[in-house]
Amino acid sequence: MKHVRKSPEPPELAQYRERFKTQFKRWSDLKSNRKTYNAIRTTLAADQKGICAYCEMSLHSQDRAVEHFIPCNQSTREQNLDLDWHNMLATCQGGLQNVKVPGEDDSIRNSRPPNNFPCCGAKKSQEYDKASCGNLLNPLELPSISIFSFSSLDGSIKPNAVACEQANITVQQAQFTIDTLNLNVQRLKRQRLAVIVAARSMRDQLDDGVADFKGIEAKLAAKYFVDGSGNWQPFFSALRFALGEGAELYLSQFS
Ligand SMILES: [Zn+2]
């Protein structure tokens, strides 16, 4: 999970709210207006450069959803969170969607047994509790530094205590977020581990004992952070972790 920088809301959404300002329109109503719905989906995916706001898996046309950070059932006439642009994120469907993506192992993306454990919005919606979910970290409010760290042994995600302190976020909040979104489900760990192992192996291959490590990592970051279509590589934060200081050097040009 990384910081998401949102662009202004699509004009279609503002127009929709204006047109129905005397009515209490719900998300299900808006979805039937394809023009508005598509404008929202396209803008969210572009803002997030093609990766899920929670697990960072690639957003696929058959495996993506508009997630409301605060669930729609918390909306009131006075505060309609259903139509609030800043309450919307693009996410995967939490491993519940059977979809074959070229180049991806479908046993990884899919939820078939033994991997039928939902993550992301699908997991969060099962146990949303108004009181405790105040602790859930919102990708829109994360700092640009990564407050998470990863295991090079099994690809699991954990809070980075030093970075959390720097960002004024408690380790408990970071851990609560990992648990609530089920970010350590086996299929996600396996995919992150693959990213870490591949990045480290490329770095070692380029290490000629002369060039400095940081320079090699920065070069790899420039090559692999963004894919051919301008999207972030899936599991961006795990790649960032694997490429260490070189990744930070590369990313500093964007902040
Ligand atoms: Zn996800």
Give the model confidence (pLDDT) of 25-57 as tens digits: 999 999 999 999 999 999 999 999 999 999 999
Q: How far is the CA of 216 from the centre of ligand 1 (A)?
A: 30
Show the beta-strand stretches assigned E in 154-196: 157-159
> Is the per-residue pLDDT at 109 higher than 90?
no
Categorize the per-residue pLDDT at 114 as very low, low, confident or very high, splitting at 50, 70 and 90: very low
> Is the per-residue pLDDT at 110 higher than 90?
no
Cis bond upstream, residue 114 (ω within 30):
yes
Query: Which of 188, 204, 185, 186 is CA-nearest to residue 242?
Result: 204
Contacts of residue 162, Cβ cutoff 8 Å, sequence gap at least 6: none
pLDDT digits (tens, 9 = 90+) for 219-248: 888 888 887 788 999 999 999 999 988 888
Categorize the per-residue pLDDT at 9 as very low, low, confident or very high, splitting at 50, 70 and 90: very high
Token pair for residue 254? 């964007």
**Distance (Å, whole) CA 122 – CA 163:** 28
CB atoms closer than 10 angstroms to residue 182: 20
Q: How far is the CA of 182 from the centre of ligand 1 (A)?
A: 10
User: Which of 58-72, 75-89, 141-155 is predicted with the least confidence, judged by mean pLDDT?
Assistant: 58-72
Higher-scoring residue by pLDDT: 137, 62: 137
Q: How far is the CA of 106 from the centre of ligand 1 (A)?
A: 15
Provide the terminal-to-terminal Cα distance of the chain, rounded to the nearest Å. Answer: 17
Q: How far is the CA of 59 from the centre of ligand 1 (A)?
A: 8
CB of 196 within 8 A of CB of 221?
no
pTM of the model: 0.91
Q: How far is the CA of 206 from the centre of ligand 1 (A)?
A: 32
User: Which of 145-159, 187-201, 209-223 is predicted with the least confidence, judged by mean pLDDT?
Assistant: 209-223
Q: How far is the CA of 131 from the centre of ligand 1 (A)?
A: 23
Residue 200's identity, in one-letter code, is: R
How buried is 59 (Cβ within 10 angstroms: 0-12 exposed, 13-18 middle, 19+ buried)? buried
Q: How far is the CA of 233 from the centre of ligand 1 (A)?
A: 14
